[in-house]
Every structure is written in C-alpha cells, then in structure tokens.
C-alpha cells in the first residue's frame, strides 16, 4: 500500500486526536475554516456558520470535517460542539499570533515534522522494515519527492490539514506558551508573605451553633428576597445567552411482556438445532447472536453470566435456557470444559499487522504479513543469540507495554484474545513460541502461573428484547391523544393528573444544546423549543429513546438575570441561612464571654490547639473563610468576637495564640508553587477572556 493511501486511511483518526488534544491544551492545533468577510451577515450568506471578530467559519468546510472524523449519530452531535469550540478558539488565537508577530519558519517546520515528535510516526509506511522504528529520512524523502510534486489535490489537502498545519500550530503554541511562562514573575515579598501564611498556626476557642438547629420550614423566603439577592450579586447569576424552560410528560415505548415472550419463543425454536450442531461457531454466526462466539476457555471465576452455575452443571454438549440476562434472553451451550490455571504471567513482543482504529472500532492493517514475519524472524534470532529480552522488546515491539519489558503481570483468562489465552494458560511455565492473533505475531514466553480451577468454552445465542410495532404504536397513540387534548398549561396539568403522570421540568435549555437533562439526546425537541412561544405544546410527540414526549414551553429566559423560578434553587439556601443567622444571633447569643455565650446557646466551648492557615479545616464545620480570617487576626487576640455568620452556622471566637510551625516551607518550593498556580490561572482564564472580549456570532442552530 502506498504512503499516500496510508495517509488517506489514517488521516481522519489522526486529525481527531489532534483536535481533542488541542481542546485540552487550549491552543488549537487545527486548520482555520473560512476567511475574512465571507459575503456578509448570515441572512445574506447561508454558507456562514458563524463569525469570530468578523472572520467567517464556513459551513461547508465545517461539515467536511464532521464527515471526516465526526462519525454519526451521538458521536457526530458531540463533535459539533467540540469542533465549534475548537474553531472559535483557533480564530481567537490566530489574532493573537498575528498581533505578536509569531511565525513558524521553514526550518522550525522541518524540525517539527521530522523530529522526535513527528506526526508521521503514525504512518507504518515510514517505519524501518527491519526494526519497525520510525525512519525520519524515509518520511522526509517522501515529503520532498512525492508530496511536493503531487497533483492529487485531495491528498495534498489531507496531508496539509492532518500533518502540516497542526504542526505549524504546535510550533506557534509552544512559542505563545513560552511568552506566557516567561512573563510571569513572583516578587520576593510575595514569597515571604506566602511562607509566613503557610507556616502560621493558631490556637482558638469558640462557641458554635449550626444552621441546622433551626428548621427550614420555620424560615420562609419570598420571591422578592430571592430577586433582591440576585440583583446584589448580579455578576454571579446573570446569563450571557437566552435559555428556555419546558415541562414534559412521557409515554413508555419500551418492550412489553408480549415482546419478551416473542423473543423467548424464537430462542426455543433454535434450541433443538443448537443441541445437535457440531459446528457451533458457524451456527452462532448464522443466528446473528448479540454475543459472538469466543472459541477459547474462560476460567469459571471470570464468567459473569448470572446463570453460570446452571450452565456449569450441564454435561458437555448440553444447552441451558432461554434465561434473561439484563436486556437479553440467552441460550447457552457448554462446548467443552477442563482444569487450567487461574492466572498467568507472560512477557511478549508484538509485531503488529493490524491496529484498532479508536474512531471506527475496526481493525486496520498497518503492516503486511510477510513484513511482520521477517521482523519476527529477526526477533527470534536475536533472542536465540542471547540478547536481553527487554532490549529486543524495546527495539521491535508495537505493544504499549514495551517499556516494561513486554511483561503482562498475572492476568486472568478473560483479558486476552483466545489464541493468546490458549498459549498462556495451556502451555507449561517456561514455554516460548510465536502465535498469531488478529493483531499480528506475538513472541510469548510464559513466566508464571497461579492457582487452578475449572474453565469452560461456552457458546451463547443472545437476543435483545426489542419493542414491537404494536407496543410502539400504542405508546405513540396515547401521546397523540394527550397532546390533542392539552391546549394550555391548565389542561396539560389536568390531563397529567388524570393519567397519574407527573410533569417533569427541564430548565435552561440553550439553543445549540443536543441534550435535555432527563431525556438525553433530544436535538429535535430543542429545535422545537426555539421555534415556538411560551405556552405552546408539542402537537406531534417526540420519540426520544424508548419513550414519546409531550412538552409545553413554559418560559423564554432572556439574557440577564433569570426568572425567580430558576433562581430559587440556587439562592434560597443562601438567603435562608442569612435569616437563620439573624434569628440565632438575636435569640441565642447573649453575653460577653465565651462561657456566657455557651450558656445562652446551650452549647460547649470548643477549642482547636493548632489550626493551620494553609489547610484550615475546622472539626464539625469544615473550611470556613470567615472563621479562618478571625482565627489569625492578631488584633483580637484574647478578645471574644461578636457573633459571626459563617457558611454552616454562627460562631464567636477567642484567639488564644498565633504562632508558627517549627519547620518552615522552603522558599524555592513556595516560589515554584506560586509560579505554577499563576501559569494554570493564565491557561484556564486566557481563552475565556479572549472569548468574552470578542464578537462571536453563532448560527449553528440554523443548520444542526
């Protein structure tokens, strides 16, 4: 297979990995979609998915990327949000690179493309056929002699987007991060203050009355109190974008008892033939069982089937079932049994012919069998000639444990593919040999085995319990009737009450959401929510998973402070504690000394001999910043504070002593900790600050 074809085959999952890493790393490693301008606003150009400071995110190119590595269904929907975030962040960073004059020179690009972290390492075509290791010269030769001279536009695009452009972005990212890192400075006075704070200890006595001493029901919170608190803390509760709220009822469309009976009947019809067949593998494949046949022995201890005791009691060739296991009915045939070790320890060297594609879940070829055989011959020869196994493994193996000498410490029979298990558990300790699996050739040496017990080879025919058309139609008709007779909120609630259904709330639904809490994947319903007005009810129930949903749009929550219904769950506990604090202080805290306050509150005087400023955990209270602040206030040493309303209750404190621990924190350690904290703050907050300062237009809901 040519290098070009290899790159085409590999391009999608490589790019997916690069995008995922970019999202985590905050600086994007993906190609810019769209350019300046783009033909005007959304209304004038239906190919504009969005804009970032006037620069267009092109819909067609966005769709092309989704098709390339977004998969389908839920995976695609999840990728829409990830790719959008990646695209916005990338355009924001592009502005920063241009302002700072950051560029990637041709020399820097070459060093990154063919250096130790070369993206071309993912392409088996550029591996040394003798050692399997990445050959930078081969990659460079292909790049200069084939790629640069190619007229295949699609291949050029894939190589650029999958390898070259991400590498350029990686170089720019490293330069940008270096600028951020080098710009951070920690002054000496801050190190000294932090040292003092970290070393500080306090001894305090206090009287404490928790808020739980007052019943919640005894404290009423009005809507005005909720809104007043929200207005005072506006920045904390304001919303940047519109959200909507619904109430909904569901009608179950999951399989009925009749549907279950139909599955049992179909398995009972297969049972006689399963008993008679000698070609179990083919028979299981023919029945399209949900559990493919594993032609290997599994230790009794590792078999998770709930009916294993009944299956193990069968004579070889016997069949048990149908029995229910989770959402399936199962027939099980005991094909063979024997005694074998419970676990085995091996070391091995893998010469891969196939690897698992993390995106598709399919095995993809990475090396021809003949090439793998030649490399394995070299492996066997070097081991036979006395070379250390660890060094041979590190040099040739494609397995992830090559740095550990290829050792798989004691593992059970269910952890490996059948061929690997058969060798590891079926041969005696000390055995060596080459086996072939779907992943390639393995040189295996058995280092140890533990325990002994029965193991079984079992064939399963499993059928999921699926919903019938009749069951589905009954649920749909019931939902249609409910929707038709519910024309406003009162009739919606009345109908729900008559049918013994509880309307469920779903709040703060955003325009580009794909999921509604409680319902899961529900993009179609989200679109309906944003196409209708408050009070509207779904005329056609939405099928979501195994239920039909009828919803009423309760509220349109404009940007700014949400309505009191949304704020109450967030604010009510805070305001309630404030009112409890006032009640406790007014009625219980009487006196000027801790002893007098203890008497008036009917609580003991408590003491902490050594409270740490750096880790101020208070027994029975937890972390309370007001408690900590008072405990290290030298001006009130020996005095009793006025009652303080804390996070979990009211307390009064007397500072007995403030001192320092005997072993001070190292100044350099403190400085490095402060530097790291500042760097993390920059990484976390930098992109958010850029997003808030930018003009971002999002038209995704018009297309997805």
Mean pLDDT in residue range 130-150: 80
**What's the rounded Cα separation, in Å, for the pair 75 and 602?**
59
What are the tens digits of pLDDT across the range 280-290? Answer: 999 999 999 99
- Whether 663 shows a pLDDT value over 80: the answer reads no
- Whether 6 shows a pLDDT value over 70: the answer reads no
- Residue 154's Cβ-side half-sphere holds a number of Cα atoms within 13 Å equal to 8
Residue pair 608/583 in contact (Cβ under 8 Å)? The answer is: no
**What's the rounded Cα separation, in Å, for the pair 185 and 494?**
65
- Together in a domain, 167 and 20: yes
Q: Please, what is the average pLDDT of the chain?
A: 87
Work out how many domains the chain is built from and give that number.
5
- Whether 115 shows a pLDDT value over 90: the answer reads no
- Whether 33 shows a pLDDT value over 50: the answer reads no
**pLDDT category of residue 129 using cuts at 50, 70 and 90:** low
Mean pLDDT in residue range 494-523: 93
- Whether 162 shows a pLDDT value over 90: the answer reads no
Mean pLDDT in residue range 333-349: 93
- Together in a domain, 126 and 99: yes
433 lies in some domain: yes
Question: Which CATH number belongs to the domain containing residue 363 in this structure?
Answer: 3.10.50.40
Mean pLDDT in residue range 225-229: 96
Contacts of 336-340 spanning 24+ positions with Cβ under 8 A: 336/297, 336/456, 336/457, 337/312, 337/454, 337/455, 337/456, 337/457, 338/297, 338/454, 338/455, 339/452, 339/453, 339/454, 339/455, 340/297, 340/299, 340/413, 340/425, 340/426, 340/452, 340/453, 340/455
- Whether 179 shows a pLDDT value over 60: the answer reads yes
- Whether 27 shows a pLDDT value over 60: the answer reads no
For 176, the token pair is 């940008």
What is the DSSP annotation of 601-660? HT---EEEEEEESSS-EETTTEE-HHHHHHHT-GGGBTSBPPPEE-SSEEEEEEEEEEEE
54 lies in some domain: yes
686 lies in some domain: no
689 lies in some domain: no
- Together in a domain, 64 and 168: yes
Q: Which residues form the domain of 431? A: 343-450
Q: Which of 294, 318, 339 is the last residue of a domain?
A: 339
- Together in a domain, 28 and 154: yes
**pLDDT category of residue 478 using cuts at 50, 70 and 90:** very high
- Together in a domain, 119 and 248: no
Q: Which of 339, 374, 404 is the last residue of a domain?
A: 339
For 328, the token pair is 């399936």
**pLDDT category of residue 261 using cuts at 50, 70 and 90:** very high
Does an H or E element contain 595, and which?
helix 594-601
What is the DSSP annotation of 35-58? -B--SSSGGG-TTEEEEETTEEEE
Straight-line distance from the first to the last Cα atom of the chain, in angstroms, rounded to the nearest whole number = 38
Question: Which CATH number belongs to the domain containing residue 203 in this structure?
Answer: 3.10.50
Torsion of CA 78, 82, 84, 88, to 10 degrees: 170
Mean pLDDT in residue range 103-126: 86
- Together in a domain, 631 and 644: yes
For 697, the token pair is 């237009």
- Whether 15 shows a pLDDT value over 70: the answer reads no
- Together in a domain, 159 and 287: no
User: From the CA atom positions of the chain, what is the Rg in Å?
Assistant: 34
667 lies in some domain: no
- Together in a domain, 281 and 422: no
pLDDT at 45: 65
**What's the rounded Cα separation, in Å, for the pair 94 and 88?**
10
- Together in a domain, 425 and 276: no
- Together in a domain, 148 and 165: yes
- Together in a domain, 479 and 541: yes
406 lies in some domain: yes
What are the tens digits of pLDDT across the range 525-554? Answer: 999 999 999 999 999 999 998 999 999 999
425 lies in some domain: yes
Mean pLDDT in residue range 625-641: 93
Mean pLDDT in residue range 7-27: 42
Mean pLDDT in residue range 206-217: 95
- Whether 178 shows a pLDDT value over 50: the answer reads yes
207 lies in some domain: yes
Chain centroid to CA 688: how far? 20
- Whether 65 shows a pLDDT value over 90: the answer reads no
- Whether 7 shows a pLDDT value over 50: the answer reads no
pLDDT at 72: 63
Contact partners, residue 458, CB within 8 Å, separation at least 6: 298, 303, 305, 311, 332, 333, 334, 335
DSSP percent split of the chain into helix, strand, coil, nearest 5: 45, 25, 30
Q: Which of 383, 418, 450 is the last residue of a domain?
A: 450
What are the tens digits of pLDDT across the range 280-322? Answer: 999 999 999 999 898 889 999 888 888 999 999 999 999 999 9
- Together in a domain, 133 and 210: no
User: Would the pTM count as exceeding 0.85?
Assistant: no
């Amino acid at each position: 297979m040519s290098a070009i074809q290899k790159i085409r085959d590999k391009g999608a999952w490589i790019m997916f990995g690069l995008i995922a890493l970019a999202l985590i790393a905050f600086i994007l490693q993906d190609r810019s979609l769209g350019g300046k301008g783009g033909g005007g606003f959304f209304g004038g150009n239906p190919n504009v998915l969005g804009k970032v400071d006037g620069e267009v995110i092109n819909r067609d190119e966005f769709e092309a990327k989704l098709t390339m590595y977004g998969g389908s269904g839920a995976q695609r929907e999840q990728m829409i949000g990830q790719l959008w975030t990646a695209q916005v962040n990338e355009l924001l960073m592009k502005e920063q690179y241009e302002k700072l004059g950051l560029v990637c020179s041709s020399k820097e690009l070459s060093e990154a493309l063919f250096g130790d972290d070369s993206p071309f390492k993912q392409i088996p075509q550029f591996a040394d056929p003798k050692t399997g290791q990445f050959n930078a010269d081969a990659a460079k030769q292909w790049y200069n002699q084939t790629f640069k001279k190619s007229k295949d536009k699609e291949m050029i695009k894939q190589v650029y987007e999958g390898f070259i452009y991400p590498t350029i972005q990686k170089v720019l990212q490293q330069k940008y991060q270096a600028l951020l890192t080098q710009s951070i400075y920690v002054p000496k006075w801050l190190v000294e203050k932090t040292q003092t704070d970290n070393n500080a200890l306090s001894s305090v006595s206090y009287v404490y009355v928790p808020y739980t001493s007052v019943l919640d029901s005894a404290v009423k919170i009005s809507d005005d109190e909720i809104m007043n608190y929200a207005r005072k803390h506006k920045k904390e509760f304001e919303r940047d974008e519109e959200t909507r709220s619904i109430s909904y009822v569901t009608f179950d469309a999951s399989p009925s008892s009749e549907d279950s009976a139909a599955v049992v009947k179909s398995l009972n019809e297969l049972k006689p033939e399963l008993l008679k067949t000698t070609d179990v593998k083919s028979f299981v494949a023919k029945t399209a069982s949900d559990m493919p046949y594993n032609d290997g022995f599994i230790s009794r201890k590792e078999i998770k089937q709930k009916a294993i005791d009944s299956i193990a009691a069968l004579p070889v060739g016997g069949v048990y079932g149908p029995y229910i296991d989770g959402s399936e009915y199962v027939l099980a045939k005991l094909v063979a049994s024997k005694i074998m070790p419970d676990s085995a320890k091996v070391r091995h060297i893998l010469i891969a012919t196939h690897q698992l594609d993390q995106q598709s879940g399919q095995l993809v070829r990475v090396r021809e069998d003949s090439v793998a055989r030649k490399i394995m011959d070299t492996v066997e020869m070097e081991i036979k000639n006395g070379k250390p196994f660890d060094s041979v493994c590190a040099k040739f193996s494609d397995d992830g444990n090559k740095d550990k000498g290829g050792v798989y410490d004691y593992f059970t029979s269910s952890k490996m593919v059948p061929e690997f298990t058969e060798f590891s558990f079926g041969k005696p300790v000390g055995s060596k040999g080459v086996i072939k699996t779907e992943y390639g050739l393995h040189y295996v040496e058995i280092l140890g085995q533990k325990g002994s017990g029965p193991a079984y080879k079992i064939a399963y025919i499993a059928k999921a319990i699926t919903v019938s058309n009749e069951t589905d139609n009954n649920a749909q008709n019931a939902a249609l009737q409910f929707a038709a007779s519910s024309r406003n909120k009162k009739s919606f609630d009345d109908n729900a009450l008559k049918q013994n259904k509880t309307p469920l709330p779903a709040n703060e639904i955003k325009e580009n959401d794909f999921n509604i809490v409680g319902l899961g994947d529900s993009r179609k319903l989200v679109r309906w929510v944003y196409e209708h007005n408050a009070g509207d009810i779904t005329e056609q129930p939405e099928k979501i998973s195994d239920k039909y949903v009828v919803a009423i749009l309760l509220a349109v929550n404009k940007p700014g402070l949400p309505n009191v219904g949304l704020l109450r769950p967030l604010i009510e506990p805070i305001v309630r504690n404030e009112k409890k604090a006032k009640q406790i202080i007014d009625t219980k805290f009487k006196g000027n000394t801790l002893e007098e306050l203890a008497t008036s509150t009917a609580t003991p005087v408590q003491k902490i001999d050594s409270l740490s400023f750096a880790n101020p955990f208070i027994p029975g209270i937890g972390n309370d910043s007001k408690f900590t602040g008072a405990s290290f206030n030298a001006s009130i040493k020996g005095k009793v504070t006025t009652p303080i309303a804390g996070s979990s209750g009211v307390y009064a404190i007397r500072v007995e002593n403030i001192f320092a621990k005997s072993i001070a924190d190292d100044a350099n350690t403190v400085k490095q900790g402060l530097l790291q904290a500042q760097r993390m703050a920059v990484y976390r907050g930098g992109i958010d600050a850029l997003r808030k300062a930018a003009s971002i237009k999002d038209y995704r809901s018009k297309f997805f």
